[in-house]
Amino acid sequence: MQLSGSVCAIRGPSDKNDSVSAATTSSTSGADGTFVAPLVVAYPYKRTVGTLLSRFFQSLQEGRLEGTKGSDGRVYFPPAEFDPVTGRQLDEWVTLPETGTVTTWAWQSVPQPDQPLEHPFAWALITLDGADVPMLHAVDAGDMSRIRTGSRVKVRWADERSGGIRDIACFDIIEERS
């Protein structure tokens, strides 16, 4: 068994603590004398996304929201690659507006590393106008009292976009349901 040397030392973006991957320099003993040390496991994955999602992420980078339509007429955003009913690869694209409706939400009172926002915010399933299936993203509601199921929200684009769901920085509330 080896405590050191077996961990890839490539850091992810979130590794905000300064602990090192080798036990040699920062190990501590547990209450019973057992050696305990922080272990960082990080991988710099580069994922291929396939033909359909390549177009999707390219369109996000260009500031467009493109979904796909299934055989039963349902529009998916983010796009479904394959029809949930027939299993065939989907190829009918639909450009969607930047507004949508919250179908359910939850409150992240203490944001965690790598999440879209660093102050408290809402998670939500959001159905874009024209889509039939909701997507997951963050809503910068400011306070828990400002978001409801049914809230109307609008995309806030990231300042720098590189292709990826984070090209959408988050959603903003555009009007409150009374």
Partner 1 sequence: MARRDVAIVGTAQRPNEVGTTLTSVELILPVINEVIAKVGIERREIGFWCHGSCDYMSGQPFSFVAAVDAIGAWPPIIESHVEGDGALALYEAWVKIQTGECDVALVFSNGKTTSGPIDRILNLQADPYMVTPLWPGFDSLAALQARACLDAGIMSEADMAEVAARSYRDAMNNPVAYAKENVTAAQLLDRPYTTAPLRAHDCGVPVDGANAIIMAAGDVARRLTERPAWIRGIDHRIDTQRLGARSLIESSSAAIAAATAGVGNDRIDIAELHAPYTHQEILLRRAMNLGEGTHINPSGGALVSNPAMAAGLARFAEAAESVFSGSADRVLAHCTSGPMLQQNLVCVMEGE
Partner 2 sequence: MSEADGILRLRQPISVTYNWSAGPNATSPLNGLLNGTLIGKRCPGCSLVYFPPRNGVCPKCARILGDDVVVGPRGTITTFCVVNVPFLGQKIKLPYVAAQILLDGADISMQHLIQECEASDVRIGMRVEPVWKDRSEWGPTLENIAHFRPTGEPDRDMGAEAGAS
**Binding segment toward partner 2, per CB under 8 A, in 37-45, 86-94, 126-134, 144-152:** 37-45
Partner whose binding site includes residue 144, from partner 2, partner 1, none (CB under 5 to 8 Å by kind): partner 1
The neighbouring-strand residues paired with 154 are: 99, 172
Encoding tokens for residue 122? 């809402």
18 lies in the binding site for partner 2 (CB under 8 A): no
Q: Which position among 11, 72, 113, 146 is part of the footprint of partner 1 (CB under 8 A)?
A: 113
Residues 6 or more apart from 146 whose CB is under 8 A from it?
173, 176
CA distances (Å), origin 49, targets 18, 28, 90, 129, 156: 32, 42, 15, 25, 24
Q: Do 68 and 76 form a contact (C-beta atoms < 8 A)?
A: yes
- Decide: is 115 part of the binding site for partner 1 (CB under 8 A): yes
CA distance 27 to 37: 5
- Taking CB under 8 A as the criterion, the residue among 62, 107, 164, 177 binding partner 2 is 164
2 binds, among partner 1, partner 2, none (CB under 5 to 8 A by kind): partner 2
**Residues of this chain that bind partner 2 (CB under 8 A):** 1-5, 9-15, 17, 19, 22-25, 27, 29-30, 32-51, 53-54, 57-58, 61, 162-164
